[in-house]
Amino acid sequence: MRLQDKVALITGAGSGIGRETARLFAQNGASVVAVDINVPAAQETVERIREAGGTAIACAADVARAADCEHMVQEAERAFGKLNILFNNAGIMLSEDDDAVTTDESIWDKTMAVNLKGVFLGCKYGIPALRRAGGGSIINTASFVALLGAATPQLAYTASKGGVLAMTRELAVVHARENIRVNALCPGPLRTELLMKFLDSEEKRQRRLVHIPMGRFGEAREMAYAALYLASDEAAFVTGTEFVVDGGITAAYVTPEG
């Protein structure tokens, strides 16, 4: 039980990486606060955890709203008495997100509000709770596109994830002496609903796959195992990292023709 007696709050827990991580954390002994703007989806995650013998509660939150982020942290402490792990995972990727010329300002603002401001607000209210618990682990979901330009234009998403990386590094330095570790998980392209909605044609999917040395999309469960390591005491000397789990995409040089 790698997370025995730990309390973990996970945003975006109603699907994808968030749901798989919530289930895995619970399997490893954590009490989980499954947060999502989609309440039925969060409740489904909780039901699956409880069916497997784990402990979890659902919490509704729009991470772009300060009051919601404050409330989700309060719920974690109310239900379980503390907070040890904060996984700022909630994110959006909008189909209208394109290049600088084409992308509408409203798409930019909405993407930044969820993907970047949401991480800031999670930390704003989560860090005091981690202090009260004597320290802990923060994991922020970034992306490989924060390190490389995306093959398919998605400027707002890419910029938001770059901001997550910068914020993660600074938070890691600021809070290192408080026993609070802060790391960014950088997934490669995954076979999740979020990405498959964006890569909505075979042409788009192949343009992405040609850059992945493993030749396949990753799975949400594979990201959950990476998050489990970062959340656990096994990563006690790991902070400020860009933890890349991408099938080799950032290590490779691939021509546009493959």
- Active-site residue flag, 229: no
The rounded distance, in Å, linking the Cα atoms of 42 and 75 is 14
Lookup: tokens for 251: 């290590």
Residue whose pair of structure tokens reads 């040609």 in the numeric block: 210
Edge-to-edge order in the sheet of strand 136-141 = 55-60, 31-36, 7-11, 85-88, 136-141, 180-187, 242-245
The rounded distance, in Å, linking the Cα atoms of 3 and 245 is 21
Lookup: tokens for 138: 């923060």
The H or E element spanning position 33 is strand 31-36
The rounded distance, in Å, linking the Cα atoms of 200 and 196 is 6
The rounded distance, in Å, linking the Cα atoms of 90 and 103 is 21
CB-based contact 86:136 (threshold 8 Å): yes
CA angle (243, 244, 250) in 5-degree steps: 145
- Pick the catalytic residue: 125, 157, 225, 229? 157
The rounded distance, in Å, linking the Cα atoms of 16 and 214 is 21
The rounded distance, in Å, linking the Cα atoms of 203 and 152 is 10
Lookup: tokens for 174: 């600021």
Question: Which residues belong to the active site?
Answer: 157
